[in-house]
A and B are shown apart, each in its own frame.
Chain A
């Protein structure tokens, strides 16, 4: 079976010369949920923006379910952007249309979906995040947690095979955080979740990858990684006070 995501030898330097990625190798199998951990400035967002060809120009290769990301090829890149759904950290960057439903329709409409098919996509995506009754509301008038869920829906409407979430639990109150976890767990897609929230990674992702200074420094089952105090401390990853990964039973 082809991997959902396969990255080999990926390097990248920003135009100002700053080398953000130093040869990344990462493979994620279909249906896996993987956490991408790492301190600020580690290169997590830079890596994520390579998955759909927004950033490119370095060495190496990225493939989504066997299809290489080739930024020069317009048609291929459209297909890549359909397959890879990125939910950005700040929902206010993602939501810009006058109503929730129109915002959710934006992605599939860009792919050429129209009419009743488009309506179905919108309904299906909003139902998946429990926001169907807010479809005609103005996104800016929703709570932060609701906006984050709509942001997830805007990406689900494209029926991606790989869902990438950048800091999905940041700024959420505990109830919204739990609701979002339930939603993520219910989705039948491969998930790559960028996070600082280590308990969240433990709860949702059986496997974690630590990125630091543009290199992958660890790739192992999440519970084992979090229990390795020296490794965690060495990469500025801190568990919340009183949280002991050894005594937490992981949610299914």
Chain B
């Protein structure tokens, strides 16, 4: 970190998707996810179609598949849950490789896995192509409640400050013979975390005062003109519209 505007899921590239206004990306991601979630779980073809859409966006955004897959491991706990469902599920059962699996459980597992993966991939693409500051700006322009965007603004500032403070305090502790391998020194660590909390709170107050002094009144000023051009809305609406088209087609053809 250190760049302030970067976050661990941001991929600094130059692409059409990166350059889109943040609010249109947020809305597109949200709508796409809604379409995915409301699609009945038996519409297998529709899910394949969504996956193709995600792949196209990733290609357009120049986000490598490997990068996406590595980060999509955050959904692993849910995948595990999905694996357990067919084994423990009730009702009608099928035999597979000598195991008796619940049909309902299999559907449930597929439902979680497919929708979860698509949702995570869409969010990852949004994160990869949008800096933290732009996300905040986008939410601000979408008239997201000020409290939320303010908290995010401070997080943007704090992650760096906190990491820096924590590093300095750790060095100071180490310099005084602190060896974190010893269990009884856990206390020093706990006290350190407390001190860090207090410090960042006090610093937070000072940062806030400094912002007020420069005329801050609750909303981040946006550097460019406040509305995204219609062209950007049209371009990014392609994702949810195509997804909805796939959903309708799947329903009609079934």
Question: What's the least CB distance linking B215 to chain A, in Å?
Answer: 4
Interface centre among B6, B161, B207 (most CB of A within 10 A): B207
Query: Does B167 count as interface, using CB distance less than 8 angstroms?
Result: no
B221, A98: Cβ atoms under 8 Å? Answer: no
A98, B215: Cβ atoms under 8 Å? Answer: no
- Chain A, residues 97-118, CB within 8 Å of chain B (1/0): the string is 1110010011101110011001
B4, A110: Cβ atoms under 8 Å? Answer: no
Query: Does B231 count as interface, using CB distance less than 8 angstroms?
Result: no
B214, A155: Cβ atoms under 8 Å? Answer: yes
A98, B131: Cβ atoms under 8 Å? Answer: yes
Residues of B within 8 A of A92 (CB): 161, 203
Who on chain B is nearest to A111 by CB? B215
Query: Does B3 count as interface, using CB distance less than 8 angstroms?
Result: yes
- Chain A, residues 50-79, CB within 8 Å of chain B (1/0): the string is 001010000000000000000000100010
**Contact pick for B207, options A82, A96, A111, A155, CB 8 Å:** A96
A6-14, A137-145, A200-208, A223-231 - interface stretch: A137-145
Who on chain B is nearest to A94 by CB? B210
Query: Does B2 count as interface, using CB distance less than 8 angstroms?
Result: yes
A93, B206: Cβ atoms under 8 Å? Answer: yes
**Contact pick for B213, options A54, A98, A99, CB 8 Å:** A54
Query: Does A197 count as interface, using CB distance less than 8 angstroms?
Result: no
B221, A109: Cβ atoms under 8 Å? Answer: yes
Q: How many residues of A contact B (CB 8 A)?
A: 36
Query: Does B217 count as interface, using CB distance less than 8 angstroms?
Result: yes
Q: A140 CA to B211 CA in the complex, in Å?
A: 17
Residues of A within 8 A of B104 (CB): none
Question: What's the least CB distance linking A131 to chain B, in Å?
Answer: 17
Query: Does B225 count as interface, using CB distance less than 8 angstroms?
Result: yes
A82, B215: Cβ atoms under 8 Å? Answer: yes
A138, B2: Cβ atoms under 8 Å? Answer: yes
Residues of B within 8 A of A139 (CB): 4
A88, B221: Cβ atoms under 8 Å? Answer: no
A98, B3: Cβ atoms under 8 Å? Answer: yes
Query: Does B177 count as interface, using CB distance less than 8 angstroms?
Result: no
- Chain B, residues 202-244, CB within 8 Å of chain A (1/0): the string is 0100110111111111000111010000000000000000000
Question: What's the least CB distance linking A36 to chain B, in Å?
Answer: 17
Who on chain A is nearest to B226 by CB? A114
B223, A98: Cβ atoms under 8 Å? Answer: no
B4, A81: Cβ atoms under 8 Å? Answer: no
Q: Which residues, 1 to 49 on B, are CB-close (under 8 Å) to A?
A: 2-6
Question: What's the least CB distance linking A94 to chain B, in Å?
Answer: 5
> A140 with B206: in contact, given A96-B157, A109-B223, A111-B215 (CB under 8 Å)?
no
> A93 with B223: in contact, given A98-B133, A140-B4 (CB under 8 Å)?
no
> A110 with B215: in contact, given A90-B206, A93-B210, A98-B131 (CB under 8 Å)?
yes
Q: List 24 A-B contacts (CB under 8 A).
A: A54-B212, A81-B215, A84-B213, A85-B213, A88-B209, A92-B203, A94-B207, A94-B210, A96-B207, A98-B5, A102-B223, A106-B214, A106-B216, A106-B221, A109-B221, A109-B222, A109-B223, A110-B214, A110-B216, A110-B221, A138-B2, A138-B4, A158-B214, A158-B215
Which 4 pairs of residues, A with B, have the shortest CB-CB distance? A98-B5, A109-B221, A110-B215, A107-B214
